[in-house]
A and B are shown apart, each in its own frame.
Chain A
């Protein structure tokens, strides 16, 4: 098992014929992901990277059997692409696009809540994220595939390169990953830490979870409450931004300390209180997990 993606996932890439879409779809195909369709309005009926291109996501679902969407559409049009995928019946939408206006995302959230209320729950991962990978089975995102290895550690993170760093440390110590989920650095992510922790808790192949957070918002504090109440698997965590000045956006739209809330201290304290193993030094993530989890596995 794994979460979100497996070897049978059939991807449609929205924005396949664009520069980023082409490059990363090619990488996903080389990794072994099943990219069954692309969508570029006006280019329906053509093929690109040997993949059939459709005008609409609905066609990609109907004619190519796509069940996961990967979005590389520019920010002004990305919210619309998410909603198109949701309406077409896609149940997992992974949006890589960075720079979508927050208000557009608030409207997307509202629409997705209506889908859920109507009995058609849709999971959105991102935006502004590296995507999702289940090592050895399916890569739907922009992460370098080779740093991953199949195994028992679930990883969830708000940052791209920080995830690669953590994954690489795990892989280098022989610890593979069940699934790695980048939830993205925006203020209104489609999927929260808590959502992913719940999935990992229910996944038989996940033995422990690495959670990489950063300053801004209250998602880590919310996750701490979930971990305390519901989680039996060990959780390891690193929070970036102990040196970030308040009131400044640290690259990610969501990484900002506002009105004294969302500080590094508040997150670390909440997670510690929930029994999470806090890693202060980023370079020690792999070691911290290996110390405990490799021993556990041998037993």
Chain B
């Protein structure tokens, strides 16, 4: 779960990590005066609170020198729908605006804590060069990036923090401050079960302060049960449909295509999407219905898939392992009858009692297209989707 910048910086301040003086978050431009007062004298930085990167270049971060300018810019940013290089073509509306006091920057640095999958331990990633995206720096100047593995049971030790400071050429008077900062950041990562804590930029101001000017915190989803305050708040990135799916225990991600996929197992669900693409189509979603592909779950999955108006065909791909294909076939039938499908349905079952399962489907009288392999199913789904015209009216082929 990704936190907004101000949520991350609230966590920072609660652990003694200094940030720029802040006026807090506003939702309406009319609330600007209070925020400016809280932040102290200007100029101020107005920052759109969105979860997508690249907001600065898209106009979501602006400086204001006077209260009048601040109000105008607040109104402007709060009306923005940000399309950034990281938003995958989506327009992200700005609902909240953070008002911070602007600081005079002497130097920008980078520090983050993340999980190193190969080493199976957390690492601190740091660079004397901050401000730009770390992925960009990794490409252009990998030698400028420092990596330090951490013992998850111990945290960051003083000497490790000092060694980072020396390599980053942190000014001598700030050595102690940096050590405290780095240790607190790692402690925050461990305490919050984060999968990423990032400060970019970490700045040295002209006055000689060390401040976290921006903050990113990701809490690992599997550990949310230990952080009920955030579990309750919900995932801000998930679409309404994705949230609805999650509530009923479906693993669902909306995509751009027109073939709805209903699969058991995450890996097979991904491979099903890949097969659809390989057959010349485009998947509308990733959907893992879980191990118990019963009538209830399949019904819910159909309902979620059909809420996407782009869907012109549904591909059901289920490997009947411990659950027999006959049970799955009955479940699919019950669900299809309940939901009253208006788009072609392609079903591919495999596994225990597959022949009997297929027979149940064939005898049902329900219009559906059966397939023998995933590849066969993908091809049939692509053809079926193309047979449905843009208005959604079906010109459905007779079940094969």
Binding site for B on A (CB under 8 A): 27, 75-76, 99-107, 109-110, 142-144, 146-147, 157-165, 168, 185, 187-188, 212, 214-215, 217-219, 222, 238, 240-245, 248-255, 259-260, 280-284
Q: Which of B265, B270, B277 sits near A160, CB closer than 8 Å?
A: B265
Q: Is the CB of A243 within 8 A of B220?
A: no
Complex contacts, B226 vs chain A, CB 8 Å: 101
CA distance A284 to B376 in the complex (A): 11
Complex contacts, B118 vs chain A, CB 8 Å: 217-219, 222
Q: Is the CB of A282 within 8 A of B271?
A: yes
Q: Is the CB of A253 within 8 A of B222?
A: yes
Complex contacts, A102 vs chain B, CB 8 Å: 115, 193, 195, 220, 222-223
- For the complex formed, measure the closest distance between the CB of A165 and the CB atoms of chain B, giving whole angstroms: 6
Closest to A161 in B: B265
Q: Is the CB of A159 within 8 A of B268?
A: yes
Complex contacts, B134 vs chain A, CB 8 Å: 259
Chain B window 339-383, contacts with chain A (Cβ cutoff 8 Å), 1 for yes, 0 for no: 000000000001110000000000000000000011110000000
- For the complex formed, measure the closest distance between the CB of B261 and the CB atoms of chain A, giving whole angstroms: 10
- For the complex formed, measure the closest distance between the CB of B210 and the CB atoms of chain A, giving whole angstroms: 25
Q: Which of A27, A106, A110, A283 sits near B373, CB closer than 8 Å?
A: A283
B319 at the interface (CB under 8 A from A): yes
Q: Is the CB of A110 within 8 A of B151?
A: yes
Closest to A246 in B: B88
- For the complex formed, measure the closest distance between the CB of B350 and the CB atoms of chain A, giving whole angstroms: 6
Complex contacts, A27 vs chain B, CB 8 Å: 322
Complex contacts, A157 vs chain B, CB 8 Å: 267
Chain B window 266-304, contacts with chain A (Cβ cutoff 8 Å), 1 for yes, 0 for no: 111111011111100001001010000000000000000
Q: Is the CB of B286 within 8 A of A187?
A: no
B121 at the interface (CB under 8 A from A): yes
Q: Is the CB of A252 within 8 A of B267?
A: yes
Pick the 7 closest A-B CB pairs, nearest first. A159-B267, A251-B266, A161-B265, A162-B267, A283-B375, A101-B223, A144-B321
Complex contacts, A253 vs chain B, CB 8 Å: 220-222
Complex contacts, A222 vs chain B, CB 8 Å: 118
Instruction: Given A27-B322, A106-B115, verify A147-B274 contact (CB < 8 Å).
Output: no
Q: Is the CB of B274 within 8 A of A243?
A: yes
CA distance A252 to B268 in the complex (A): 11
Q: Is the CB of B121 within 8 A of A110?
A: yes
- For the complex formed, measure the closest distance between the CB of B84 and the CB atoms of chain A, giving whole angstroms: 13
Complex contacts, A218 vs chain B, CB 8 Å: 117-118
B264 at the interface (CB under 8 A from A): yes
Q: Which of A106, A144, A283, A284 sits near B322, CB closer than 8 Å?
A: A144
Q: Is the CB of A143 within 8 A of B321?
A: yes
B249 at the interface (CB under 8 A from A): no
Complex contacts, B153 vs chain A, CB 8 Å: 107, 110
CA distance A37 to B376 in the complex (A): 45
B105 at the interface (CB under 8 A from A): no
CA distance A224 to B277 in the complex (A): 26
- For the complex formed, measure the closest distance between the CB of B225 and the CB atoms of chain A, giving whole angstroms: 7
B14 at the interface (CB under 8 A from A): no
B251 at the interface (CB under 8 A from A): yes
- For the complex formed, measure the closest distance between the CB of A31 and the CB atoms of chain B, giving whole angstroms: 11
Q: Which of A146, A158, A248, A282 sits near B275, CB closer than 8 Å?
A: A282
Q: Is the CB of A162 within 8 A of B271?
A: yes
Complex contacts, A238 vs chain B, CB 8 Å: 271
B120 at the interface (CB under 8 A from A): yes
Q: Is the CB of B374 within 8 A of A282?
A: yes
Closest to A111 in B: B153
**Which of A103, A248, A259 has the largest count of B CB atoms less than 10 A from its CB?**
A103
- For the complex formed, measure the closest distance between the CB of B89 and the CB atoms of chain A, giving whole angstroms: 11
Q: Which of B115, B350, B352, B374 sits near A187, CB closer than 8 Å?
A: B115
CA distance A99 to B251 in the complex (A): 13
Complex contacts, A99 vs chain B, CB 8 Å: 222
CA distance A243 to B279 in the complex (A): 12
B255 at the interface (CB under 8 A from A): yes
Q: Is the CB of B152 within 8 A of A161?
A: no
Q: Is the CB of A251 within 8 A of B269?
A: yes
Instruction: Given A187-B117, A283-B275, A283-B374, verify A241-B270 contact (CB < 8 Å).
Output: yes
- For the complex formed, measure the closest distance between the CB of A251 and the CB atoms of chain B, giving whole angstroms: 3
Complex contacts, B135 vs chain A, CB 8 Å: 259-260
Q: Is the CB of A162 within 8 A of B268?
A: yes
Residue pairs across A and B with Cβ atoms less than 8 A apart, 18 shown, are: A75-B225, A101-B222, A106-B115, A106-B121, A110-B121, A144-B351, A147-B321, A215-B270, A240-B270, A242-B274, A244-B270, A245-B255, A250-B269, A250-B270, A251-B269, A254-B117, A281-B278, A282-B274
Complex contacts, B60 vs chain A, CB 8 Å: none
Complex contacts, A260 vs chain B, CB 8 Å: 135
CA distance A245 to B88 in the complex (A): 9
* B160-203 residues at the A interface, CB under 8 angstroms: 190, 193, 195
B26 at the interface (CB under 8 A from A): no
Closest to B374 in A: A283
Q: Which of A142, A214, A242 sits near B267, CB closer than 8 Å?
A: A214
| 15 extra A-B contacts, CB within 8 A, seeds A102-B115, A215-B270 | A75-B222, A101-B223, A102-B220, A103-B193, A105-B120, A106-B115, A106-B120, A107-B152, A110-B152, A146-B352, A161-B263, A161-B264, A243-B273, A245-B255, A282-B274
